[in-house]
């Protein structure tokens, strides 16, 4: 049976994006087209996720060229879980954009760019070829450049220059690393790479190449090399920050998990310790950043950094429960970071400022917004019953099993910093004296809260219904820890 349906996850957004370019001025077509496409992608990916549980890993060889000669898409539980979350979160962010953003935004190629961004992200999750991963990264980055500069205010352009240059440098490193890899083992198919690296033994040369990949992906994920992140994630409009915060760093994290569990798992005492060390510094740096600024957008951006560190603690520990915890936490973080950035966007549009000291008593006028923020805060800090809890417990459990007590301490301490940094926003902006009276308050567009409430329900749902996800997450973790399953599925006979 042909698995052509796999490619539709990436092709549908591209196709819709192109068609939307032709209808640039028609706002209704833009809205219906982009929302419909993301809904279709979500439905297909949920269907595939369920199918994988019965049939095992699915693959599609493009043009019928069998691996390792052709390029292919591979769908295992890990990638499909991320695709499902990506499409649902993007759908909700688009909904927010439709309600909140002006007409100008939606006719300036905003919707096609979001669709192309999604195509890049989904392609990166699904590809089974290292060079194709690079291409999908570029698709994603090019659309993110467009989204970052859309609107073209001075601040945006300044941050975009930094963002674009840092990404061009890291893409160049990526290419160099690919060239070294291809030069030393002669293949770029991930499963074939895994086999060849295992055959040759991961010597000093291949380990160096793997460190080069670590460098590239940590730049994209914001692991240790996150210096560019707070600036560029806090300048664009709320929807764009939400999409960036929810999706972009996760692709880097996904690549780290894939590469260091599948291709280079043979020198854990070097690579995984290095990742653990970088994760610890990321956690400390992110925590300090989050409590050191009064700009609520920057606080949210530093929270992205902390989450990256936290998820990679799971990879550094690499026990079954820690990997499961990381996967739970990845899903949770995509949902809740989108929620956080959307609420903060709404706060800024209501008050016209991003400084903590300049707003106060929002709770009285906008109670629903306040309580949504409160729940996002609890979820991020890992308070049950919300979604952050399961991930934190499982990662901590793994760290204890494996004796990584230092990582455990740092990661738990960072949760306190997350709580403290958000509690500062909650206490100063939502509590306190209401500065504006009931008649003077800006009316909050009722619809803006709809996407936020959906996300709140999602984070509560993932927390309470974690049991329902556990089948998929366990399968995903199993494949990550036993690369042979992946290799057999790719290099075996087409089913």
Partner 1 sequence: MKINDVILKTVAKAVVLVIITFGIYLFFSGHNTPGGGFIGGLVLASAFVLLFLSYDVETVSEGVPISFKKLSAFGVLLSLSSALAPVFFGKPFLSQSFGYFDLPLFGKTELATVTVFEAGIALTVVGVVVNIILSISEGTK
| Distance, CA of 223 to chain centre | 13
Examine residue 22 and tell whether it contacts partner 1 (CB under 8 A): yes
| Residues sharing a CB contact under 8 Å with residue 195, sequence separation 6 or more, in sequence order | 487, 491
14 is an interface residue for partner 1 by CB under 8 A: yes
Q: State the binding string over 24-63 for partner 1 (x if CB under 8 A, else -).
A: ------------------------------------xxxx
In the list 25, 28, 54, 64, the residue contacting partner 1 (rule: CB under 8 A) is: 64
Closer residue to partner 1 (CB): 67 or 370:
67
Q: 448 CB contacts (<8 Å, ≥6 apart)?
A: 96, 99, 100, 346
Question: Quick one: which of 306, 273, 271 has its CA closest to 287?
Answer: 306
Rank residues 16 and 487 by Cβ distance to partner 1 and give the closer one. 16
Q: How far apart (Å, rounded) are the C-alpha atoms in residues 288 and 276?
A: 18
Q: What is the DSSP letter of 244?
A: I
Q: How far is the CB of 176 from partner 1 (least distance, A)?
A: 22
Residue 359 zone, left/alpha/beta (φ > 0; ψ -120 to 50; rest) = beta
Binding range to partner 1, per CB under 8 A, among 2-10, 161-169, 279-287, 450-458: 2-10
4 vs 482 by CB, closer to partner 1 = 4
C-alpha–C-alpha distance, residues 66 and 128, integer Å = 12
Rounded to an integer, what is the distance from CA 472 to the centroid of its chain?
Answer: 18
Q: Is 443 in the site for partner 1 (CB under 8 A)?
A: no
Binding mask 338-377 for partner 1 (x = CB under 8 A): ----------------------------------------
Query: Minimum distance from CB of 2 to partner 1 (Å)?
Result: 6
CA 109 to CA 261: how far, in whole Å?
A: 38
User: Rounded to the nearest whole angstrom, what is the least distance from the CB of residue 25 to partner 1 in the complex?
Assistant: 12
In the bound state with partner 1, the residue whose beta carbon lies nearer, of 19 and 393, is 19
Contact pick of 18, 405, 413, 423 for partner 1 (by CB under 8 A): 18
Q: Which is nearer to partner 1, 20 or 327 (CB)?
A: 20
Joined tokens for residue 116: 């192309």
Report the nearest approach of partner 1 to the CB of residue 271 (Å): 34
Burial 278-309 (b: 16+ CB within 10 A, else e): bbbebbbbbbebbeebeebbbbbbbbbbbbbb
Q: Residue 79 CB, nearest distance to partner 1 (Å)? A: 17
Question: Considering only 13-21, 239-247, 365-373, 390-398, which stretch makes contact with partner 1 by CB under 8 A?
Answer: 13-21
**What is the C-alpha separation between 248 and 246, in angstroms, rounded?**
7
For partner 1, the closer of residues 2 and 439 by Cβ is: 2
Q: Which stretch binds partner 1 (CB under 8 A): 14-22, 50-58, 85-93, 440-448?
A: 14-22
Largest CA distance in the chain: 73
Cα–Cα distance for residue pair 384/374, rounded to 1 Å: 13
3-state secondary structure 62-81: HHHCCCCCCCEEEECHHHHH
Chain contacts with partner 1 (rule: CB under 8 A): 2, 4, 7, 11, 14-15, 18-19, 21-22, 60-64
């Amino acid at each position: 049976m042909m698995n052509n349906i796999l490619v539709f996850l990436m092709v549908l957004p591209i196709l819709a994006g192109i068609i939307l370019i032709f209808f640039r001025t028609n706002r209704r077509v833009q809205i219906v087209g982009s929302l419909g496409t993301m809904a279709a992608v979500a439905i297909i990916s949920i269907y595939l996720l369920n199918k994988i549980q019965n049939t095992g890993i699915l693959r599609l060889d493009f043009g019928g060229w069998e691996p390792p000669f052709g390029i292919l898409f591979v769908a295992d539980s890990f990638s499909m879980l991320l695709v499902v979350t990506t499409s649902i979160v993007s759908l909700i962010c688009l909904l927010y954009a439709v309600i909140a953003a002006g007409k100008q935004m939606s006719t300036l190629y905003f919707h096609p760019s979001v669709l192309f961004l999604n195509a890049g992200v989904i392609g990166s999750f699904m590809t089974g070829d290292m060079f194709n991963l690079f291409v999908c990264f570029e698709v994603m980055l090019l659309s993110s450049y467009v989204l970052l500069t859309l609107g073209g205010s001075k601040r945006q352009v300044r941050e975009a220059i930094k963002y674009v240059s840092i990404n061009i440098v890291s893409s160049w490193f990526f290419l160099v690393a690919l060239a070294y890899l291809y030069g030393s083992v002669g293949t770029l198919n991930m499963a074939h790479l895994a086999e060849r690296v295992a055959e040759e033994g991961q010597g000093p040369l291949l380990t160096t190449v793997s460190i080069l990949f670590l460098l590239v992906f940590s730049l994209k994920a914001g692991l240790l090399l996150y210096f560019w992140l707070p600036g560029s994630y806090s300048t664009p409009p709320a929807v764009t920050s939400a999409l960036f915060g929810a999706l972009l760093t996760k692709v880097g994290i996904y690549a780290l998990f894939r590469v260091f569990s599948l291709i280079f798992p043979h020198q854990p005492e070097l690579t995984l310790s290095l990742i653990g060390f970088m994760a610890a510094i990321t956690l400390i740096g992110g925590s300090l950043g989050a409590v050191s600024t009064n700009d609520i957008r920057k606080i949210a951006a530093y929270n992205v950094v902390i989450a990256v560190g936290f998820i990679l603690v799971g990879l550094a520990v690499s026990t079954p429960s820690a990997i499961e915890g990381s996967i739970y936490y990845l899903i949770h973080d995509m949902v809740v970071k989108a929620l956080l950035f959307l609420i903060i966007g709404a706060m800024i549009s209501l008050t016209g400022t991003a400084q903590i000291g300049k707003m106060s008593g929002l709770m009285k006028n906008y109670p629903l917004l306040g309580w949504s923020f409160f729940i996002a805060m609890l979820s991020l800090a890992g308070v049950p019953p919300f979604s952050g809890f399961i991930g934190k417990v499982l990662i901590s459990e793994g760290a204890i099993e494996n004796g990584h007590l230092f990582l455990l301490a740092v990661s738990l301490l960072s949760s306190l910093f997350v709580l403290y940094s958000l509690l500062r926003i909650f206490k100063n902006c939502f509590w306190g004296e209401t500065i504006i009276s009931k008649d003077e308050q800006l009316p909050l567009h009722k619809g803006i809260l709809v996407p936020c409430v959906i996300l709140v329900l999602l984070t509560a749902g993932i927390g309470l219904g974690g049991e329902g996800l556990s089948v998929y997450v366990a399968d995903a973790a199993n494949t990550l820890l036993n690369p042979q399953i992946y290799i057999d599925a790719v290099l075996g006979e087409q089913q």
